[in-house]
Structure 1
Amino acid sequence: MRRFVRSHATELALLAVIAVICVFLSFATDRFFTLGNAFDLLNTSSVNIIFAVGLLVVLIAGGIDISFAVAASVVQYLAATVLGWIGGGNWIVGLIIAGALGVALGCINAFLIHRFRIISIVATISTFNIFFGLLMFFTGGVSIYNLPDWLTTRVVLFEREMADGTWAEITLPVLIMAICVFATWTLITRTTTGRQLYAFGDNPEGARRFGINI
Structure 2
Amino acid sequence: MKGLKKIDKTQRFLIAIIVVYCIIVAMRNPAFLSLTTLFNMVRSAAGTTILAMGVLVVMISGGIDVSFPAVAIFGGYASLRICMWCNIKSLFLAFLISIAIGILLGLINAVLINILKLEPFIITLATASVFFGVMTILIGTKNVGASDLPEQFRALSSAKVFTTVNQYGGKIGLSVFIIPVVLCVLLTYIILHKTLIGKGIFALGCNNEAARRAGFNVTLLRLFIYGYAGFLGGIMGIIYIAGTNSVNPVSLVGTEMSVIACVVIGGAKPSGGYGKIFGTLLGVILYFLFNQTLVYLGLSAAWQDFFMGIVLLISIMSTSYQNRVQNRKNFIYTE
Would you say the 8 A contact 2:112–2:123 is kept in 1?
A: yes
Counterpart position of 2:209: 205
**Higher mean C-alpha displacement, 134-143 vs 188-197:** 134-143
Tell me the SS of whatever aligns to 2:31. coil
Cα deviation for residue 11 of structure 1 reads 2.7
User: Aligned to 2:32, what secondary structure does the other structure show?
Assistant: coil
Per mean C-alpha deviation after superposition, the further-off stretch among 194-203 and 135-144 is: 135-144
Instruction: Detail structure 1 runs of 4+ shifted over 4 Å in the superposition.
Output: 1-4
Structure-1 separation of matches of 2:60 and 2:25: 32
Counterparts of 1:121-160 in structure 2 under 5 Å?
Answer: 121-145=121-145, 146-153=148-155, 154-160=158-164
SS in 2 for 1:170: strand
2:188 is aligned to: 184
C-alpha distance in structure 1 between counterparts of 2:134 and 2:60, whole Å = 30
Matched, 1:175 2:179: yes
d(CA) in 1 for partners of 2:78, 2:171: 34
| Sequence identity (%) | 28
Give the letter aligned to residue 192 of structure 2: I
Give the CA deviation at 1:173: 1.7
- Secondary structure of 2:141's counterpart equals coil
Q: Following TM superposition, by how much is the alpha carbon of 1:4 offset from its aligned partner in structure 2, in angstroms?
A: 5.4
Deviates more, 1:150-159 or 1:53-62: 150-159
| TM-score, length basis structure 1 | 0.90
Aligned length: 214
Match of 2:116 in 1: 116
Q: Which moved more, 1:161-170 or 1:177-186?
A: 161-170
Note the residue ranges of structure 1 that are not aligned, 5 or more in a row. none
Partner SS for 2:204: helix
Determine the structure 1 residue equivalent to 2:10.
10
Q: Which amino acid aligns with 2:149?
A: L
Cα RMSD, aligned residues only: 2.0
Q: Distance in 1 between matches of 2:202 and 2:182?
A: 23
Give the AA of the match of 1:40.
Answer: N
> Corresponding residue for 1:53?
53
Please identify, of 13-22 and 110-119, the stretch whose mean Cα deviation from structure 2 is larger: 13-22
Give the CA deviation at 1:2.
Answer: 8.1
- Structure 1, 162-171 or 142-151: larger mean CA deviation: 142-151
Q: Deviations over 1:76-101 (max 9, x none)?
A: 12101222243222222211121111
Higher relative contact order (CA 8 A, sep 6+): 2
Matched residue, 2:95: 95
The TM-score with structure 2 as length reference comes to 0.59
- Equivalent of 2:165, from 158, 161, 168? 161
Residue identity opposite 2:119 in structure 1? I
Q: Is the contact made by 2:78 and 2:139 (CA closer than 8 Å) also made in structure 1?
A: no
Alignment partner of 2:192: what SS? Answer: helix
Asked if the contact 2:162–2:174 (Cα under 8 Å) also holds between the matched residues in 1, the reply is yes
Cα deviation, 1:160-187, whole Å, max 9, x if unaligned, reads: 1113022221122221111111111121
Q: Which runs of 5+ in 2 are unaligned?
A: 219-335
- Counterpart-to-counterpart distance in 1, 2:110 and 2:119: 11
Instruction: Determine helix, strand or coil for the equivalent of 1:31.
Output: helix
Instruction: Identify if the C-alpha distance between structure 1 residues 16 and 97 changes in structure 2 by more than 3 Å, giving closer, same or farther.
Output: same
